[in-house]
Amino acid sequence: MLALHQCNCMDILQHLFEQHFRSPVEHVKPLQGQLGGSGRRIIRLNSGEISAIGILYDVREENVAFLEFSRHFRRHGLPVPEIYAQDLNHGAYLEEDLGDTTLFEFLSKNRTGDNIASPVIEVYRQVVALLPRFQVEAGRDLNYKVCYPRGSFDRQSIAWDLNYFKYYFLRLAGIPFSEQALEDDFGRLTRFLLNAPREYFLYRDFQSRNIMLHDGQPHFLDYQGGRKGALQYDIASLLYDAKADLPPSLRQHLLDHYLDSLAGLIELDREAFMRHYYAYVYVRIMQALGAYGFRGFYERKPHFLQSVPYAMKNLRWLLHNVELPIALPALMSAFTGMLGSEKLQAVGAPAGMLTVRIFSFSFHKGHPHDESGNGGGFVFDTRSVPNPGREERFKNLTGKDAPVIDYLNQQESAHQFMANVTALVDASVSAYQRRGFKDLMVSFGCTGGQHRSVYFAEQLAKHLRSQNGVEIVLCHVQLEKMALETPAQ
């Protein structure tokens, strides 16, 4: 019966295509890679130069929301797919074909580590500038009665997300927590989140895989879960999109650009916005982790767990750099337990992979914390090497900038230092791999955490990336703090 139903629905898609375009369907291609975790069937239909995307999905309420939202957004001039035809009785509709290149794919093909090509950054700037138009301009007269499953991101919506995280991620990952203490924290966090203004359109899944590049411009998909809510949620979703792995300095730059665009549509109190912002970052990360846990641990679809290390990286950065206005001790303890979990350290990485976490830091600001439970690994003091920071021409540069790199490359002491470091680290990497260890931490400290420590951390990362079975996580502690404190120009 199911096969017959699917066949009939495919016939319905072809009928919708032929009725709209007045042309017979010549090619049909399922796009299973875009199916994700939603259960939607996505099919490309072609006739010569004509192409359209057919959707088959049996949740009528979600289909209604997507179709109405799409038409509403297009009336506001927003770049979303045109709806060509629909048959809601059979869960089928036909929409504009926006191609195959998502923002995530464009990002992945145009980056080397934290170095992201300028065309990608420009697309991200366009995306965050368009977001306020969805939230404010189109949100003003949108029909929220068709929202599914809730009309707003309210107490019930938040409870669903937090419990999703608790039961499908914390519980299944084996992270210990006090049920009542965590519930108390969830209550405090929910009350705090609901204090933010919530009369705007909340896209709900505003992330890089739901943004298509079509004719060089961003277009937007998958807003059928949208509802009324706070402004902070969607920009947090994009900037802390796990596998996109945006560097903290770029996140800050894009956040500033978003707020500039938002200020053109509403009277914006930036301090009030930021008071609630990181709480929404946390709740979005927890929602995503709940989804990864449900699909990965519960349904045993391991590819969903590949995003977990990136979400953990975001949590580590937040714990080191952000202090919320409310105390959430049980939740923070659970996060710390996640970062120290051997099970989670092994999740998402190929079997036998050794993760080498490399940090640069300032001795005046304190050592980086070892969240793996291994005790901290190597800490190298780079202050024996001549300091570029003492020269005026280098004061505003970092150890990632070519003039500083050239200066240190000319120092014999820098080459000797690096040779000693690589000999020690290489020996440990080989031993750790033989013994099946999963985590090694290497930290470089200098006076300001800006020049020498950054340079040596980058050099070691470059050296180790050429080795088999090694995954590199690179973190410049002081540079990230500077980026957070200094508004982007």
Can you tell me the mean pLDDT for 196-223? 96
227 with 147: CB under 8 angstroms? yes
Report the alpha-carbon distance of residue 331 to residue 178 in Å, rounded: 9
463 with 358: CB under 8 angstroms? no
Residue closest to 372 by CA, chosen among 417, 339, 347: 339
Are 286 and 379 in the same domain? Answer: no
Are 10 and 131 in the same domain? Answer: no
Q: What pLDDT does residue 435 have? A: 80
Report the alpha-carbon distance of residue 145 to residue 73 in Å, rounded: 16
Domain boundary among 47, 70, 96: 96
Are 393 and 480 in the same domain? Answer: yes
DSSP label at 378? E
Please report, for the domain that includes residue 70, its CATH number.
3.30.200.20
What is the distance, to the nearest Å, from the Cα of residue 414 to the centroid of all Cα atoms in its chain? 36
| pLDDT tens-place string over residues 397-449 | 999 999 999 999 999 999 999 999 999 999 999 888 888 788 899 999 999 99
Q: In sequence order, which residues have a C-beta less than 8 Å from that of residue 362 and are 6 or more positions away?
A: 445, 446, 447, 448, 449, 450, 453, 477, 478
Q: What pLDDT does residue 87 have? A: 96
Q: What is the pLDDT of the chain when averaged over all its residues?
A: 91
Are 340 and 357 in the same domain? Answer: no
Can you tell me the mean pLDDT for 328-346? 91
Residue type, 299: E
Q: What pLDDT does residue 444 have? A: 97
Residue closest to 245 by CA, chosen among 423, 384, 73, 114: 114
Identify the residue whose tokens are 């399922």.
30
Q: What pLDDT does residue 433 have? A: 84
Percentage of the chain beyond pLDDT 70 is 93
Q: What pLDDT does residue 363 have? A: 94
Are 428 and 284 in the same domain? Answer: no
Predicted model pTM: 0.76
3-state secondary structure of 387: coil
| pLDDT tens-place string over residues 33-55 | 444 456 789 999 999 999 999 99
| pLDDT tens-place string over residues 1-29 | 334 344 477 899 999 999 999 999 999 99
Percentage of the chain beyond pLDDT 90 is 80
Are 334 and 238 in the same domain? Answer: yes
| pLDDT tens-place string over residues 287-332 | 999 999 999 999 888 888 889 999 999 999 999 999 999 999 999 9
Are 372 and 331 in the same domain? Answer: no
Are 392 and 472 in the same domain? Answer: yes
| pLDDT tens-place string over residues 370-380 | 766 666 789 99
Q: Which range marks the domain in which residue 354 is found?
A: 349-485
Q: What pLDDT does residue 350 have? A: 59
Domain boundary among 96, 125, 147: 96
Are 292 and 385 in the same domain? Answer: no
Give the number of domains in the chain: 3
| pLDDT tens-place string over residues 93-114 | 999 999 999 999 999 999 887 8
Please report, for the domain that includes residue 174, its CATH number.
3.90.1200.10
Are 384 and 449 in the same domain? Answer: yes
276 with 230: CB under 8 angstroms? yes
Domain boundary among 320, 344, 368: 344
Q: What pLDDT does residue 86 have? A: 97
Are 199 and 285 in the same domain? Answer: yes
Phi, psi of 118 (to 5 degrees): -60, -35
| pLDDT tens-place string over residues 155-194 | 999 999 999 999 999 999 999 999 999 999 999 999 999 9
For the stretch 170-176, contacts whose Cβ atoms lie closer than 8 Å and that sit 24 or more positions apart, written own/partner, are 170/334, 170/338, 172/293, 172/297, 172/298, 173/293, 173/297, 173/338, 173/341, 173/343, 173/344, 173/347, 174/341, 174/343, 175/334, 175/337, 175/338, 175/341, 175/344, 176/337
Distances (CA, A) of 93 to 15, 25, 39, 77, 450: 11, 15, 15, 21, 54
Are 328 and 477 in the same domain? Answer: no
